Amino acid sequence: MTKQLILFRHGKSNWDASYGRDRDRPVAERGIAAAQIMGKLLATAGKVPDFAITSAAVRARTTLELAHAAGDWGCPTAVTDDLYEASIDQVLEVIHQVPDHHRSLMLVGHQPTWSDAVSYFIGGGAVAMPTAAMVCLEFEVATWSQVDYGRGTLLWLLPPRLFT
């Protein structure tokens, strides 16, 4: 039995916009377009996750909303504060709480956590996650609680610039 985890980095954010806290920073026009491209791409490839959880930060939530709408995904979504400025342990906590009937899961979040998480799950190495990139990892596990260090296999990493 396998589980697939898709890590989706939020789209390019708008540093020039007015926002109070960092978590309120919006997505830039380039990030909007990239999120929509990635949403359509995932749908066309037949890789829409069973469930998606996003960081509560505006740029991550917006990225998921745009991709979900552009690809006409049917999967349920959830929002959590636990993926904003998250450690690997916090990411693992989120993953371990996912109901096991979901075979595929998407988490939408931030750097440097996503690059660090990919390296952690595949057991080492360096990975660069540009904005709006998606990476898919596969785990030979029966339950989400078994996802851990070095248990993942990198299936693909797709940056949006390949599709624009």
Q: pLDDT tens for residues 96-137?
A: 999 999 999 999 999 999 999 999 999 999 999 999 999 999
Phi, psi dihedral angles at 45 (to 5 degrees): -80, -5
The Cα–Cα gap between 141 and 163 comes to 32
More confident residue, 16 or 27: 27
Range of the domain at 87: 3-163
pLDDT over threshold 80, residue 19: no
The total number of structural domains in the chain stands at 1
Angle between helical axes of 88-96 and 113-122 (0-180°, round to 10): 70
- Judge whether residue 22 has pLDDT over 90: no
Angle (CA) 82 103 137, round 5°:
70
Percent of the chain past pLDDT 90, that is, above it, reads 90
Counts for the chain of helices (H) and strands (E), in that order: 4, 6
Find the CATH number of the domain harbouring 26. 3.40.50.1240
Q: Return d(Cα 136, Cα 127) in angstroms, integer.
A: 13
**Segment 10-35 mean pLDDT:** 87
DSSP 76-99: -EEEEGGGTT--HHHHHHHHHTS-
Preceding omega of 26 cis (within 30 degrees of 0):
no
Question: Average per-residue pLDDT in the chain?
Answer: 95
